[in-house]
Amino acid sequence: MFKLKGKRVLLVGLGSRGRAACRLLCDCGASVVAVDREDDDLLRRETGPLAKMGAEVHLGLAKPLAKLLDGVELGVISVGGIRETAWVRALRKADLPVIGELELGSQQLRCLNIAVTGTNGKTPAAKLIEQVLIGAQRETRLAGKVDYPICDAVGDSKELDYLILAVNSFQLELTHFFSPTVAVLTNIAPDHMDHYGCMAEYVNAKARIFANQQPFDWAIIQSEALAQIRSFGIEILCKIITFSASNRRADISLDRGLIVSRVPGWEGPLMDFTECQLQGAHNAEILMAALAAGRVFRIPLEQSAEVLRNHPALPHRCELVAEMGGVSYINDSRSTNLAALEKSLSSMKPGPGGRPNVWLLAGGRDKAGAYHDIGPLLSRRVKAAFLMGETRENLRTAWSLFTPCRLVDSLEEAVRQSAELAEEGDVILLSPASEDSGSVNGYQHRGEMFRRSVELLAGTSTEAESTGKAGSASKIPHVLSR
């Protein structure tokens, strides 16, 4: 554990997690120098209280200043600041220890922690585990996300039995001693290749969640992800429960609509997945992870199953926003990579005769994905794709052989144009396969923009129907060909 009292600490990145880290460092008696490359009115207002706590705050600094590094004994990087590579390089060149805000917060916790990671599904899985534990009267709270960072949870932790953490690869790669009592890995698929460059580095970052676990700890892992980890020679030393919706040799699997267990002493059907509000193979897997966590904590199966059976889908995850004129508008803004898009498309009900019926709204910040890999699925499910953001040209190059593609300048334009073309039985699906680079609130803001656009469209459609001024079908081919 790093001692903080009286230590001069350089904190890089002043997003939500970084500000929480700064508050914790000040509370622990550290002398904090906090920097961020951004400088705007909002950030100035948000960092003002940090200066009042005694932190030395510097905004608009993309390049390191030697005078700020003078006397520094520890570097702390927030997840928002991990791309501040010049600062990280400067700290490491000075041979200073560098940790992330996850490591910082976990060292100060006063309760056991359960950590959940994965390319997709980590937040829903963490939420389900939280609800299972709360249903069993365990004092539990979910942290780690931007609205409740781990460093803000430290003060509450002495009153908790468990703190559940949804953590990403950027946070994990900057850990040293982080050791959850239970670590859950939902899946691993290519993502953030603009940062990692290859799958080996990405898998190694994810696998750090297990690095410090002891033989008496637990790892709950999708069986396919475990195979990937082992293919890179990484060993997991604690007790393991595997799960999979497609591999019936996993400890927990899906068999003709039933979630079944092969765990010794817990064999047999666990619950009927068809009775759950959550649907789709990807949701079956996060239910399996939550059931396994309940088993680890000795919660009666009936109690866990009742909670999970009635759990609704989280916002921005294949969320039905509206149905108008027989067309479904679905918000899957949380789809920030190709694996998530693949799951979303596969879960959509096909059109009559299995014909494509999805109008796909995609694009955002380019993360160097292998976009062409999903082409065959697009040809089977997607009528056309409306592409936006900095990655739209790359998406069109990769996808235009498989489905018609149209470049648009905004999400609102994509919603409007797809609605002009959609017919009864079609789906307009926001599933970007990219992160949102246009808002500090990320996928949540993008999902709300989609919702507002659909609501505006609904108002326009109602007015058009009442006045007899609805658009002519003869305009449809012209709109797509532009």
Q: Which of 425, 286, 275 is nearest to 349 (CA)?
A: 425
What is the fold of 319-481?
Protein-Tyrosine Phosphatase; Chain A (3.90.190)
Q: Where in the chain is the domain with CATH 3.40.50.720?
A: 8-96
In this structure, are strands 327-331 and 319-324 parallel, antiparallel, or unpaired? antiparallel
Percentage of the residues of the chain whose pLDDT score is greater than 90 = 77
Evaluate if residue 217 carries a pLDDT over 90. Answer: yes
Please give the pLDDT value at position 280.
82
Return residue ranges of the chain for CATH 3.90.190.20: 319-481
Q: Specify the pLDDT at position 318.
A: 86
Q: Is 156's pLDDT higher than 60? A: yes
* pLDDT tens-digit map of 304-333: 999 999 998 777 888 889 999 999 999 999
Q: Which of 89, 90, 96, 160 is nearest to 130 (CA)?
A: 160
pTM (whole model) above 0.75? yes
In this structure, how many other beta carbons lie within 10 angstroms of the beta carbon of residue 477?
A: 9
Average confidence (pLDDT) over 52-58 = 96
pLDDT of residue 469: 45
Closest CA to 342 of 305, 380, 312, 394: 380
pLDDT of residue 460: 63
For the chain, give the mean pLDDT.
Answer: 90
224 near 187, Cβ under 8 Å?
Answer: yes
Choosing among 1.10.10.10, 3.10.290.10, 3.40.1190.10, 3.90.1150.10, the CATH entry for 103-309 is 3.40.1190.10
Query: Looking at the DSSP assignment, which residues form a beta bridge with residue 59?
Result: 36
| Angle between helix 16-27 and helix 101-108 axes, rounded to 10 deg | 40
Which pLDDT band holds residue 438 (cuts at 50, 70, 90)? low
**Is the pLDDT at 475 greater than 60, yes or no?**
no
Q: Boundaries of CATH 3.40.1190.10 in the chain?
A: 103-309
Which residues have C-beta within 8 Å of that of residue 446, sequence separation ≥ 6? 333, 364, 411, 430, 432, 436, 438, 439
316 conformational bin, left if phi > 0, alpha if psi -120 to 50, beta if neither: left
Nearest alpha carbon to residue 102 among 47, 143, 141: 143
The pLDDT tens digits for 74-111 are: 999 996 656 567 899 999 999 999 999 999 999 999 99
Q: What is the pLDDT of residues 348-358, one digit of tens each?
A: 988 888 899 99
State the amino acid at position 127 in one-letter form: K
Phi, psi of 140 (to 5 degrees): -140, 145
pLDDT at 365: 85
pLDDT in tens, 112-122: 999 999 999 99
Q: How confident is the model at residue 471 (pLDDT cuts 50, 70, 90)?
A: very low
Would you place residue 146 in the very low, low, confident or very high pLDDT band (cuts 50, 70, 90)?
confident
CA distances from 475 to 70, 211, 317, 420, 472 (A): 66, 59, 32, 8, 6
Please say whether the beta carbons of 167 and 315 come within 8 A: no
At 248-307, the pLDDT tens digits run 999 999 999 999 999 999 999 999 999 998 888 889 999 999 999 999 999 999 999 999
Q: Find tokens 């007790």 and name the residue.
A: 239
pLDDT at 482: 33
Percent of the chain at pLDDT exceeding 70: 93
Domain 8-96 has CATH 3.40.50.720: yes
Q: How many residues does the chain have?
A: 482
* DSSP code for 53: T
